[in-house]
Each structure stands twice: as structure tokens, then as C-alpha cells.
């Protein structure tokens, strides 16, 4: 019986030893099947050439009982992104579609329409993301400033929020 238990012990130990050896040595197996080929490089986002603002990331406008704070989120893959927060105690903010009421203007006077406005309803407290295609003057580093224009929110004809880029 002693010999039988020993042979079973060897029969079980041998596959375990092989599995451990193969598992430990597999970390040295070349990736993509090529001998000595390096693993693929991770994909990185497109490099941004848009300068960050020098006068702060958040610009604000207050009027018509509505305060609007807009935070510059930066550029990625040709899209300039802003976080918008609107607050009031007396106006229903859900009626304002910043996809239609906002624009971006560079220092040359060219104006750009938003690519998107994403916001959930919020009543008196609303936030969302406003995106624009990056104007050529920004991506080329020529613009000295950029302004966001928000029109006709709470009886304020035009709000201008300005980010200085030099």
C-alpha cells in the first residue's frame, strides 16, 4: 500500500510541477509570436497644441438672476471642452439650450458653433458639457484669447466669458 500511495503522489506532483514551470516561464514568452518582439505601444491621445488659459480656468457671468460658471476643460482630439454650471433661485434653466445659444469667438473675430451640449434637466441648478471644434487660430497657437458668447439667458442679451491664452 505504501508503494501505491507513493506512485499516486508522484503522479499528482509531476503535473503540478509542470504547470508551475510553464506558468512561471510564460511571462518571458515574446508577444505577437515574434522572437524577441516588444509588446505593442499603448495608444496615447492626440497631443494638444492649444495653450491653457493664463487668467484662470473658470470664468463667470452673473445677470438676470442667473449665475453661469464655465470651466475650461482643455482640448482632446480636436475638441475643446467646457464644463458649464448655471444657478438661480427664480428661473427655470431647463428652457435654455446652450447648443443653440452659445458660441466661441477667437481674437480674429471668427465665431464657432458648438459641436455638442450635453446636460440633464436641473430646474434651478443645471450643469453640462459644451464642446466646440478647436478653431485653427487656437491649434496653431496664434490666438491671444478666446471668448465664449452665451446669448439670451434670463434676459441678458449677451454674456462674454474670456480666456487669455498668452
Beta strands in 32-78 (DSSP E): 58-63, 66-76
DSSP calls for 77-92: TTEEEEEEEEEESSS-
pLDDT band per the 50, 70, 90 thresholds, residue 136 = confident
Mean of the pLDDT values across residues 110-136? 95
Mean of the pLDDT values across residues 48-54? 81
**67 vs 34, residue with greater confidence:** 67
Mean of the pLDDT values across residues 130-135? 95
Mean of the pLDDT values across residues 145-151? 97
**26 vs 82, residue with greater confidence:** 82
pLDDT of 164 > 80? The answer is yes
Q: What pTM did the predictor assign? A: 0.70
pLDDT of 26 > 70? The answer is no
pLDDT band per the 50, 70, 90 thresholds, residue 56 = very high
Q: Which tens digit of pLDDT belongs to each residue from 86-103? A: 999 999 999 999 999 999
Task: Give the 3-state secondary structure of residue 18.
Answer: helix
Report the topology of domain 58-164.
Immunoglobulin-like (2.60.40)
- Between CA 30 and CA 40, with CA 35 as vertex, the angle to 5 degrees is 50
Amino acid at each position: 500500500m505504501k508503494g501505491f500511495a507513493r506512485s499516486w503522489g508522484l503522479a499528482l506532483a509531476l503535473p503540478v510541477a509542470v504547470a508551475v514551470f510553464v506558468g512561471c516561464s510564460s511571462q518571458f514568452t515574446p508577444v505577437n509570436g515574434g522572437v524577441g518582439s516588444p509588446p505593442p505601444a499603448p495608444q496615447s491621445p492626440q497631443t494638444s497644441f492649444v495653450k491653457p488659459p493664463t487668467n484662470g480656468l473658470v470664468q463667470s457671468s452673473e445677470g438676470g438672476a442667473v449665475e453661469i460658471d464655465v470651466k475650461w476643460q482643455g482640448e482632446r482630439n480636436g475638441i475643446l471642452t467646457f464644463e458649464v454650471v448655471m444657478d438661480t433661485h427664480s428661473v427655470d434653466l431647463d428652457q435654455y439650450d446652450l447648443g443653440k445659444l452659445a458660441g466661441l469667438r477667437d481674437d480674429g473675430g471668427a465665431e464657432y458653433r458648438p459641436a455638442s451640449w450635453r446636460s440633464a434637466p436641473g430646474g434651478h441648478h443645471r450643469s453640462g458639457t459644451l464642446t466646440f471644434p478647436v478653431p485653427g487660430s487656437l491649434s496653431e497657437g496664434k490666438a491671444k484669447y478666446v471668448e465664449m458668447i452665451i446669448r439670451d439667458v434670463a434676459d441678458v442679451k449677451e454674456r462674454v466669458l474670456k480666456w487669455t491664452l498668452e
